[in-house]
Amino acid sequence: MTADVFTVLAEPTRRRILDHLRLGERSVGDLVDTLGVSQPAVSKHLRVLRESGFVTCRTAAQQRIYRIDVRPLRAVDGWLDPYRQLWTRHLDALERHLDSQEQ
């Protein structure tokens, strides 16, 4: 349960689902049409996304409307944080290098 964030994102179809939900809420049927994937497959991916917190879902008559929740994505963002220093520092070093070249 509650699979690891990166494991969830490792599935290309799930990333495509997120890409669509990023633009707004979608019903399962919408996603099925857009993605060209079988309905059971989409439902299973949505379950994984739901149980890992990437999406929430509300019921509207016979439909289930899915909406993105950014918290797991912010977790990824947070994980990246220490690494980000790595390339900003490289940029700093590059700047210093260029500065020294100018003189």
Partner DNA sequence: TGTTGATATGCCTTGACAGGCATATGCCTC
Partner DNA sequence: GAGGCATATGCCTGTCAAGGCATATCAACA
Of residues 9 and 35, the one with the C-beta less far from a second copy = 9
Q: Are 65 and 58 in contact (CB under 8 A)?
A: yes
Instruction: Provide CB contacts within 8 A for 72, sequence distance 6+.
Output: 5, 8, 52, 53, 54
From candidates 18, 46, 49, 68, binder to DNA by CB under 7 A? 46
Nearest approach in angstroms of CB 79 to a second copy is: 8
Residues binding DNA (CB under 7 A): 3, 7, 10-11, 13-14, 27-29, 32, 37-48, 57, 59, 61-64
